[in-house]
Structures are given as C-alpha cells and as structure tokens.
Amino acid sequence: MTENAFYLPLGGDRYQPTEHTAGPWTPEAQHFGPPSALLARALENLAAERPGLLARVTVEILGPAPLTELSLRSWVERPGRSVELLGAELHDGTRAVARASAWRIAEADTTDVATEEPAPPSPEDCRPASWPDTWGRGGYLGAMEWRVIAGSPAEPGPAWVWGRQRVELVAGEKPTPLQRLFAVADTGNGASNFLDPAKWWFINSELTVHLRRAPVGEWIALDARTLVGPSGVGTATSTLSDVRGQVGHGAQALMVRTR
C-alpha cells in the first residue's frame, strides 16, 4: 500500500481509487464504504442558505465500482427554505456506478426535547476485531481500524463494532465525521454475517442512513444484525453511534445467493 487515502484527486471532480478501496468479494471492485463516503462528501459540500443536517441519505448501488478513475457530480434537486432534496452521482466513464439522494433539513433549536441514548463502551476499552479469513486483510478492511464491543465479524451472528479510518478519504483532506460515518455504515452486512462468505453472496444493493444529529469524532460504532428471508432477499440493519451516543440508523437490502 503506497497511498494514505482511499482516493487521489485528479481535478475537475475526478478521483483515482487506491488499493485501500478494494472490497472482500473481489479485488477488482471497491467495498462500497469509500464510494458512499465520497458521495456523502459531495452532498455535504453543496451550498446551503442556512445550516442544515443530512437527515436521510440513500445510496443506490448501480453496479460494481471498479478501481479505475471515477467522476462525481452533485446538485440540488429540489430547493427549499426548510427542507431540500439533494442528489449526487458517481461515474466510471461509461456508466453510473452509484446514485445518492438526501433530504437536508434546516437546523432549529430542539435541545429541550432532544432524546439521547447512552454511548457504547469506549473504543480504547474494546479488543481488536477480526474478519473471516476468506476476506483477507488488505483493501478496505485493512485500511480501517476495527474494535469489538460484542459479537465478532469473524463469527456468525450479530456484531457490535467500532470502526475508524486509518487513511484519508481524499488525499490531502481531513475526513469529516459524516464522511467517516458513511465509510463505516456500508459494513453492516459484513459485520453481522452468519453465512460462510466462501459459499454465499450477501451483497447489498443500496444503503439508507437516517440521522438525528451530526456525528462527532473519528470513531463510528455499528451495532448490526442480518436477517434473510426464504426467497434470496435479506436485510442488514444497524444502529450507528459515536463516542457521545447514538446518531442514527442504517439499513441495507441484500441479494443472497450461493456462490
């Protein structure tokens, strides 16, 4: 690994993925944590008349994201004083790889009625996490630091883990907490897997994240559970937290197949 980022900026909203983005299913395609974070970065950077929160972001995965040059565009789909609909799209030169939509809600003071949930145990008090051997130790999984709160990604069943980027999202930039959250949020199905990844596909076709507040800090906790139905479809749902407590929830629709 020679670069210290998931992406190298090429200018003009073009980016070169590094080997840190490689996913566990195949080294020729990216784990969708980094592309989701890149789309969140584009949405986060869209100009706004007043401070707002990305309350819901959905990333539609339109196909594998190759480790080749990508271009990104973003726009305000529906402007508004209190609520806006935003959009972003990632291309590999010939096709759209992913499309994101987000509702941005203008901030208001609801401190007196805000609900809070306790924070997970501190990352410093948790042991390092391991992953199924068939997924290897490089690429995206190796570019992140993982710690176990409960369960284990290497064992079948639900898992509660902390994740933190070891590398930047875009070279030369410090990742924002929101970008860090999206780099972790797409890992719900992997962390809570209960099927042997050498025998089964359980790949998500989308990621939807609802947020109640902006995350803080470098660490994001993912409390994930995967359930599978009888017809090749499953769901992975996650509670997302930072060191202060819960910030929201994530969900993924899964295609489940034998390999």
pLDDT in tens, 227-240: 999 999 999 999 99
Q: Which residue has the tokens 């203008």?
A: 106
Highest CATH level, class, for 5-107+119-258: mainly beta
Domain residue ranges in the chain? 5-107+119-258
pLDDT over threshold 80, residue 1: no
**pLDDT range class, residue 137, cuts 50, 70, 90:** confident
193 alpha-carbon distance from chain centroid:
16
CB atoms within 10 A of CB 258: 8
Which of 48-62, 124-138, 164-178 is the least confident region?
A: 124-138
Taking the mean position of all CA atoms in its chain, how far away is CA 60? 12
Stated pTM of the model:
0.95
- Interatomic CA distance for residues 188 and 147, integer angstroms: 14
State the Cα–Cα distance between residues 81 and 86, nearest whole angstrom.
Answer: 13
- Span of 14-23, 28-37, 130-139, 185-194 with lowest mean pLDDT: 130-139
Task: Categorize the per-residue pLDDT at 133 as very low, low, confident or very high, splitting at 50, 70 and 90.
Answer: confident
